[in-house]
């Protein structure tokens, strides 16, 4: 079954059925008793057989002289035969008249009860009755095609549905067993679609799904059979797979297809794509196992972020079991005291003074130990728990900030990450304002960090929310700058005050001259448009020395301080700066690479 390239309107499919039904009705109404041949057959039969009967009776009675004398038995026998022949002929004529109607009714009944399509003898009848039979057969055939379409195709996108995909997969697996080839099942899931659907409405969500289906379908062969399984999930069955490189090329085409935004009611929105891949017969021996393994691969791909793919591998189901365990435990981790807020200082390069704190979550699982933040934050996003978790983190961090102020410590800026789902959360601005009011915290001391990936889903909505936060007095930082599109459009349209440069730019400093030039450019751009720059991921003294030479103003990283608890950080806040580290840097000789930077 090939993928439908366009969505065929079901109403268009019903139009010929309606026309056939009208033809049948017209044919029946034209079968009046005295109109055409079949009606005349009945009249001739009545006249042709009743006249001899009446004549025979008349002759018999004349022979008897109307005297009432008993007729010979032979006469009565002849009269009876004549009458029987007349009745038989009359019944035959009646059958000839009613047979088309009876056959049409029986054909409809057979289809409805046994799904049996008719083969009516339309070639034997050339009048209105034959036309009625022909239209009846066409009607049933068209209705059967429409029902098969509804049963096997998705009404919204026109793609084959789950039932059609599963049927084709079973056939393909049987063929693979015969010829010894390999097939691949690709499970596709749209990342961020539900958020867009909730914010823009179901009608726009349906429009986006149709646009996604058309774009994906334009990047696959007709023989591959793209299908929609339901909601925001699709599947691709690749049967003619010449090599693994051929499959990887197809995966990359699908991922690239959705990297470009869609235009919905004048808005640019973007959805991500995750792909789980399982091979037959390498990864599974049965139909159910193949689909299960492809689904497990998809689940892992979703946990790794947007535009990712994952092949099924041995042990993946064990990893999925771990994920399900974490998903269940995460919902109770805050209540159990397993999740804590840690703080990582942000330091002024010239003085070593602590000027900010980034609040980060750490999860100490009761059985599994410390869970990687990237793992459980992505999981919270996936299961929709990130909003509740984000509100909890905001409240705890602001309460701690207020406690430090009450203890007489100098105020510093408090930075928290804002996820894509939180950014589109109804009432976000009100929730933040209420939290700040409760702890008596001036909004100017709060900074919210957003990533480029959280902005591309719905830039106008992001612009509206961030502008409202700016009006509240909260500052906005663009996190991981340079890791994504790094579009200057964000800097022009969004109320951003700080660029947090991604660690990839400094990991090879000071020997990476290309990275050095990029940092110089970012610094110049920021100064031109009035933005501050903070460099993340500083881990070596050589990197820190290089950043000082480049004139970077703020830094953050393990060299300065790992994320620590509030109790540990309190002592450092009392001191207020990392003076010894920066004093030591002043006495270190410049490396050759650092000398080139300075020159």
The mean pLDDT of 271-283, rounded to a whole number, is 90
Q: Contact 212/219 with Cβ under 8 angstroms? A: no
- pTM of whole model > 0.75? no
Q: Are residues 64 and 129 in the same domain?
A: yes
Name the most confidently modeled range: 108-117, 144-153, 410-419: 410-419
Name the least confident of 446-455, 532-541, 587-596.
587-596
How far apart, in Å, are the Cα atoms of 261 and each of 195, 471, 491, 539, 568?
15, 28, 18, 36, 45
198 three-class SS: helix
CA dist., res. 596 & res. 599, Å (int) = 5
Q: Give the pLDDT of residue 396.
A: 95
The mean pLDDT of 551-568, rounded to a whole number, is 90
Nearest to 128 by CA among 36, 17, 45: 36
**At residue 38, does pLDDT exceed 50?**
no
Q: Classify residue 352 by its DSSP letter.
A: -
CA 105, distance to chain mean position in Å, is 45
CA dist., res. 286 & res. 511, Å (int) = 54
Residue 276 lies in a domain: yes
Q: How confident is the model at residue 593 (pLDDT cuts 50, 70, 90)?
A: very low
Residue 25 lies in a domain: yes
Q: Are residues 260 and 359 in the same domain?
A: no
Q: Are residues 148 and 167 in the same domain?
A: no
| Helices (H), ranges, 30-161 | 37-63, 73-114, 128-152
Q: Give the pLDDT of residue 358.
A: 95
Q: Give the pLDDT of residue 477.
A: 93
Quick one: 365 exposed, middle or buried, by C-beta within 10 A (0-12, 13-18, 19+)?
middle
The mean pLDDT of 108-122, rounded to a whole number, is 65
Q: Give the pLDDT of residue 196.
A: 82
Q: Are residues 229 and 361 in the same domain?
A: no
Residue 459 lies in a domain: yes
Question: 557: alpha, beta or left, given left = phi > 0 and alpha = psi -120 to 50?
Answer: left
236 three-class SS: strand
- Residues in the chain, overall count: 599
Q: How confident is the model at residue 7 (pLDDT cuts 50, 70, 90)?
A: very low
Residue 327 lies in a domain: no
CATH number for the domain that contains residue 168 = 3.30.70.270
| Six-digit token string for 225 | 């059979």
Q: Which residue has the higher pLDDT, 283 or 90?
A: 283
Torsions phi, psi for 246 (to 5 deg): -65, -40
Q: Are residues 101 and 130 in the same domain?
A: yes
> Which residues, 6 or more positions from 186, have their beta carbon under 8 angstroms from its beta carbon?
235, 236, 237, 238, 250, 251, 254, 275, 276, 277, 294
CATH number for the domain that contains residue 459 = 3.20.20.450
**At residue 220, does pLDDT exceed 90?**
no
**At residue 347, does pLDDT exceed 80?**
yes
Q: Are residues 592 and 483 in the same domain?
A: yes
CA dist., res. 559 & res. 581, Å (int) = 9
Residue 330 lies in a domain: no
Q: Are residues 433 and 542 in the same domain?
A: yes
Q: Classify residue 556 by its DSSP letter.
A: -
Q: Are residues 140 and 171 in the same domain?
A: no
Strand-by-strand arrangement of the 233-238 sheet: 226-230, 233-238, 183-191, 272-280, 308-311
| Helix axes of 316-333 and 287-303: crossing angle, nearest 10 degrees | 50
Q: Contact 531/476 with Cβ under 8 angstroms? A: no
The mean pLDDT of 289-302, rounded to a whole number, is 89
CA dist., res. 389 & res. 82, Å (int) = 99
Tell me the pLDDT tens digit for each residue of 177-195: 888 788 899 999 998 888 8
Tell me the pLDDT tens digit for each residue of 362-416: 999 988 899 999 889 988 988 889 999 999 999 999 999 999 999 998 899 999 9
Nearest to 237 by CA among 159, 146, 157: 159
Q: Are residues 310 and 173 in the same domain?
A: yes
User: What burial letters (b/e) apply to 181-197, b meaning 16+ CB within 10 Å?
Assistant: ebbbbbbbbbbbbebbb
Out of 129, 152, 175, a domain closes at 152
171 three-class SS: helix
Q: Are residues 64 and 210 in the same domain?
A: no
Residue 539 lies in a domain: yes
User: What burial letters (b/e) apply to 520-535, b meaning 16+ CB within 10 Å?
Assistant: eebbeebeeeebebbb
How far apart, in Å, are the Cα atoms of 144 and each of 3, 149, 151, 594?
20, 9, 10, 78
First CA to last CA across the chain, in angstroms? 67
Q: Are residues 358 and 396 in the same domain?
A: yes
Strand pairing partners for 250? none
Domains identified in the chain, total number: 3
| Torsion of Cα atoms, 56 then 58 then 61 then 67, to 10° | 180
Nearest to 31 by CA among 94, 88, 118, 83: 94
| Six-digit token string for 49 | 């057989």
Residue 2 lies in a domain: no
Segments forming the whole domain that contains residue 222: 162-314
Q: Are residues 355 and 478 in the same domain?
A: yes
Out of 117, 152, 187, a domain closes at 152
**At residue 573, does pLDDT exceed 60?**
yes
Name the most confidently modeled range: 396-400, 460-464, 492-496: 396-400
Residue 326 lies in a domain: no
Q: Contact 541/509 with Cβ under 8 angstroms? A: no
CA 423, distance to chain mean position in Å, is 20
Look up tokens 């004139």; give the residue. 551
> Which residues, 6 or more positions from 356, have their beta carbon under 8 angstroms from its beta carbon?
345, 346, 412, 413, 414, 415, 447, 554
Q: Give the pLDDT of residue 9.
A: 47
Tell me the pLDDT tens digit for each residue of 323-344: 778 888 998 998 899 999 999 9
């Amino acid at each position: 079954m090939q993928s439908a390239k366009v969505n065929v309107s079901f109403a268009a499919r019903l139009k010929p059925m309606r026309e056939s039904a009208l033809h049948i009705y017209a044919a029946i109404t034209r079968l009046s008793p005295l109109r055409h041949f079949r009606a005349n057959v009945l009249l001739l039969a009545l006249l042709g057989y009743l006249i001899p009967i009446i004549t025979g009776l008349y002759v018999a009675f004349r022979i008897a002289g109307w005297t009432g004398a008993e007729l010979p038995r032979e006469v009565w026998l002849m009269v009876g035969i004549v009458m029987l022949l007349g009745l038989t002929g009359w019944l035959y004529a009646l059958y000839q008249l009613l047979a088309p109607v009876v056959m049409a009714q029986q054909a409809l009944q057979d289809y409805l009860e046994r799904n049996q399509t008719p083969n009516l003898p339309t070639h034997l009848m050339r009048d209105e009755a034959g036309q009625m039979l022909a239209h009846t057969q066409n009607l049933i055939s068209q209705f059967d095609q429409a029902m098969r379409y509804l049963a096997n195709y998705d009404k919204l996108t026109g793609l084959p549905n789950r039932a059609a995909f599963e049927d084709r997969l079973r056939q393909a697996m049987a063929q693979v067993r015969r010829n010894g080839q390999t097939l691949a099942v690709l499970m596709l899931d749209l990342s961020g679609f539900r958020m867009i659907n909730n914010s823009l409405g179901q009608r726009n969500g349906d429009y986006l799904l149709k646009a996604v289906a058309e774009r994906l379908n334009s990047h696959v062969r007709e023989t591959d059979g793209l299908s929609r399984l339901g909601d925001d999930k699709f599947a691709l069955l690749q049967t003619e797979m010449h090599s693994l490189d051929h499959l990887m090329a197809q995966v990359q085409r699908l991922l690239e297809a959705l990297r470009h935004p869609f235009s919905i009611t004048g808005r640019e929105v973007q959805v991500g794509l995750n792909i789980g891949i399982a091979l037959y017969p390498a990864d599974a021996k049965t139909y159910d196992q193949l689909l299960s393994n492809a689904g497990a691969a998809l689940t892992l791909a979703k946990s790794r972020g947007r535009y990712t793919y994952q092949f099924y591998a041995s042990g993946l189901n064990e990893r999925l079991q771990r994920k399900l365990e974490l998903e269940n435990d995460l919902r109770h981790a805050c209540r159990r005291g397993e999740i804590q807020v840690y703080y990582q200082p942000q330091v002024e390069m010239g003085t070593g003074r602590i000027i900010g704190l980034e609040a980060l979550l750490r999860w100490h699982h009761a059985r599994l130990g410390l869970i990687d933040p990237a793992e459980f934050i992505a999981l919270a996003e996936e299961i929709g728990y990130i909003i509740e978790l984000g509100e909890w983190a905001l409240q705890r961090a602001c309460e701690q900030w207020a406690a430090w102020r009450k203890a007489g410590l100098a105020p510093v800026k408090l930075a928290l990450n804002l996820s894509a789902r939180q950014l589109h959360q109804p009432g976000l601005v009100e929730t933040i304002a209420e939290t700040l009011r409760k702890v008596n915290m001036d909004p100017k001391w709060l900074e919210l960090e957003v990533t480029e990936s959280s902005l591309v889903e719905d830039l106008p909505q992001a612009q509206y929310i961030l502008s409202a936060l700016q009006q509240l007095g909260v500052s906005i930082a663009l996190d991981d700058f340079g890791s994504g599109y790094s579009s200057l459009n964000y800097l022009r349209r969004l109320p951003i005050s700080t660029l947090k440069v991604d660690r990839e730019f400094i990991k090879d400093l000071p020997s990476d001259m290309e990275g050095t030039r990029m940092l110089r450019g970012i610094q110049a751009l920021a100064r031109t448009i009035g933005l501050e720059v903070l460099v993340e991921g500083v881990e070596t003294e050589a990197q820190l020395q290089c950043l000082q030479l480049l004139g970077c103003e703020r830094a953050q990283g393990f060299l300065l301080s790992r994320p620590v608890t509030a109790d540990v950080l309190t002592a450092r806040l009392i001191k207020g700066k990392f003076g010894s580290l920066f004093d030591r840097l002043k006495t270190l000789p410049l490396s050759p690479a650092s000398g080139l930077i300075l020159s």
